[in-house]
Amino acid sequence: MKVDIEKFGRIAVITIDRPPVNALSQALRKLIEVRLDEAAGDEAVKGVVLACAGRTFVAGADIEELGEVRPPTLHAVIDKLEALGKPSVAALHGTALGGGLELALGCTFRVASRDAQLGLPEVKLGLLPGAGGTVRTTYLIGAEATLKLAGSGNMMGAEAAQGIGLVDAVFDNDLVANAIRFLSDKIDADDIPPPVSRRREAMPACDPQALESLTAELCRKARSSAPELAAQSVRNALTLSFEDAMAEERRLFETATGNPRFGALRHLFFAERAAAKPSGDVAEAEPRAVQAVAVIGAGTMGSGIAMAFANSGFDVIVRETDEAALKRGMERIADTYERSVKRGSLSAEEAGRRKARIAGTVAIADLASADLIIEAAFEDMAVKKTIFAELDAVARQGAILATNTSYLDVNAIARSTTRPADVLGLHFFSPANVMTLLEIVRGDQTAPDVLATALKLARRLGKQPVVVGVCHGFVGNRMLQARNAALSQLLLEGATPDQIDAAFRAFGWPMGPCQMQDLAGLDIGWRNRKALGETDALPDRLCELGRLGQKAGKGWYLYDDSRKPQSDPEVDAIIAEIAERGGIARRVVTDAEIIERTHGPMIEEGRRILDEGIAARSSDIDVVWAHGYGFPRDLGGPMYWDDHLRASAQEKKKV
């Protein structure tokens, strides 16, 4: 770790170098202060460029230090930067996030490389920026733009940032040299504005009603009240002096760090990174090169997987068994991109480029040159074994063969080839081009470099990987089965689909289990139960009656063209009939009982998964459920909730 200073004529360049992401630790803040003092005391220096070595600008504060304020604080460093008495420019590349962007706001100007990304992601930890991120940004770009940035936690590209005034110039190359030239030109032209903290009078006007609407929208999307913290700080910036607004921002930040929600979100922050990091023999392995990808199956899952890879720059070939099925799959892909263009989330040009990366075929021989082949066929062991035996005959040596199975034995599938070391499970979640979770299933003979390749690919795809072992349903679906068994029993005892789903939403889930089953298709669980010789009388009966979920227009609920779930008296009658036949007395079931009896068995199954070594850490289970199933992030995942929050929640209900 070091901070260098070098003079280029009258401009001093201060370069921060703390690999891998230049996080603002206490020691680094001290070094920055030393260099700022040096630049301030040098009369030959007329301006300062603040830059970073490595692949990124400061990518944030050191999260290990959250809750421990040790001098010099980031506040103090930024104040010193503003008080230099000399103009400064931050040269942003890679990512400038959180404390990194706040540090840049202490400079007079900001310039960026064209591929730089800026953001204030603290809301994703249940926090708000704590070193002027909401106050200075409001002065610079206005209240609504600031709230969109700080209230969503999303990153913004350099060109978009320039468009709203957050960045002053964007360069394609030679960032530091261009920053020196930019600052020199500003000095020569005597075009030096005051520090951002003194630009309150020049900030863009704000529509209070629009700000309130935006706050409500952000809270709804986040399924959390955390964006309200950022909104309150933005309002303070509009109405209070700079000093008072900064004091209030800090107070809000400190209040948030004492909230149990922060502990849960912080847990997930570290859990996600631990799950994605190779360990043991995988950490020592060199990933294989993957350029050409093939997907077998052009159904909902196969087409989603193909788009996930195409969206990340891979060339993909999709194989189907006949031309009609292939045509439907390619049309599904085209329709998805067309909808993205209509929504404005993708330009027509970019959609065209992504679609052009996907080709189709009905000939398995066309997959011979692929580096990675992912099977996404029907969830049937015989079908999958046949496919893998065919792949064994045509795939090149060293190609990775992956199955997207969500339940089946990856070891049994691998044994249908002569190369089980090249076989693993890549369990994507539907829609695969949207959902972030990727369960990477390590078979008994899967080679370490195959696992290393999968983890590297997950990063490029923007997926959250979790390595799991082989068992029926792996981590997520195995626990889900335990929950679903409790669900059926609750319905038979007197709960209704409406009540159960409402209780889940009140707990923090985006939707309840009955609505989720309807969305996924009740026939998925039915098919899996039949394969195992198991039954579940209630959902089995719905399937026998053709009530397969939303796609059939009826499942637990009725659906019209709007696809909004509506209660159905026929389902109530089916439940009552099966309960009577089983001698089950119907009664009033409370919401608290619904949560306890559905979550308890799920967590018990999670404990067994840990005991069996299917998951390496309980935090891995939390990551699976937060990313793949919608478990409320501000409760930390089912295992964290059970260990840290469940007992206190139960005590509150007793009071």
Residue range 505-517, pLDDT digits in tens: 999 999 999 999 9
30: confidence class by pLDDT, cuts 50, 70, 90: very high
225: confidence class by pLDDT, cuts 50, 70, 90: confident
Tell me what pLDDT residue 224 has.
79
The yes-or-no verdict on residue 454 having pLDDT over 70 is yes
Tell me what pLDDT residue 68 has.
67
User: Per residue in 433-443, pLDDT tens?
Assistant: 999 999 999 99
Please identify which of the residues 33, 64, 122, 349 carries the catalytic annotation. Answer: 122
User: Per residue in 31-52, pLDDT tens?
Assistant: 999 999 999 999 999 999 999 9
Q: In the annotation, is 349 catalytic?
A: no
The yes-or-no verdict on residue 648 having pLDDT over 70 is no
C-alpha 553/C-alpha 585 separation (Å) is 30
Q: Would you put residue 636 in left (φ > 0), alpha (ψ -120 to 50) or beta? A: left
60: confidence class by pLDDT, cuts 50, 70, 90: confident
Tell me the average pLDDT of the chain.
Answer: 94
- CB count within 10 Å of CB 329 equals 23
Q: Would you put residue 313 in left (φ > 0), alpha (ψ -120 to 50) or beta? A: left
Q: In the annotation, is 102 catalytic?
A: yes
652: confidence class by pLDDT, cuts 50, 70, 90: very low
Residues 494-512: what's their mean pLDDT?
96
Range with the poorest average pLDDT among 259-268, 450-459, 581-590: 259-268
C-alpha 550/C-alpha 445 separation (Å) is 40
C-alpha 306/C-alpha 182 separation (Å) is 44
Going along the chain from its start, the domains and CATH numbers come out as 2-258 (3.90.226.10), 281-468 (3.40.50.720), 476-613 (1.10.1040.50)
The answer, yes or no, to whether the previous bond of 72 is cis (omega within 30 of 0) is yes
More confident residue, 520 or 143: 143
Tell me what pLDDT residue 642 has.
96
Tell me what pLDDT residue 655 has.
38
C-alpha 449/C-alpha 283 separation (Å) is 9
The yes-or-no verdict on residue 67 having pLDDT over 80 is no
Helix 618-628 vs helix 591-611: crossing angle, to nearest 10: 130
Residues 303-318: what's their mean pLDDT?
97
Residues 214-218: what's their mean pLDDT?
94
**SS3 per-residue string spanning 72-92:** CCHHHHHHHHHCCCCCEEEEE
More confident residue, 552 or 530: 552
The answer, yes or no, to whether the previous bond of 448 is cis (omega within 30 of 0) is no
20: confidence class by pLDDT, cuts 50, 70, 90: very high
C-alpha 410/C-alpha 406 separation (Å) is 10
Residues 433, 332: contact at Cβ < 8 Å?
no
Tell me what pLDDT residue 268 has.
94
Percent of the chain with pLDDT over 70: 98
583: confidence class by pLDDT, cuts 50, 70, 90: very high
Tell me what pLDDT residue 222 has.
82
Q: Which residues pair with 91 in a beta bridge?
A: 111
The yes-or-no verdict on residue 61 having pLDDT over 90 is no
C-alpha 515/C-alpha 501 separation (Å) is 7
Residues 586-614: what's their mean pLDDT?
97
Tell me what pLDDT residue 221 has.
84
Percent of the chain with pLDDT over 90: 87
The yes-or-no verdict on residue 532 having pLDDT over 60 is yes
C-alpha 351/C-alpha 337 separation (Å) is 6
Tell me what pLDDT residue 654 has.
47
The yes-or-no verdict on residue 471 having pLDDT over 80 is yes
Tell me what pLDDT residue 66 has.
65
Residues 210-237: what's their mean pLDDT?
92
Residues 168, 140: contact at Cβ < 8 Å?
no
Q: Which long-range contacts (CB under 8 A, 24 or more apart) does 491-495 make?
A: 491/538, 491/575, 492/538, 492/575, 492/578, 492/579, 492/582, 492/584, 492/586, 493/579, 493/584, 493/585, 493/586, 493/587, 493/589, 494/586, 494/587, 494/588, 494/589, 495/589, 495/594
Please identify which of the residues 82, 102, 249, 320 carries the catalytic annotation. Answer: 102
pTM of the predicted model as reported, rounded to 2 decimal places:
0.86
Tell me what pLDDT residue 646 has.
82
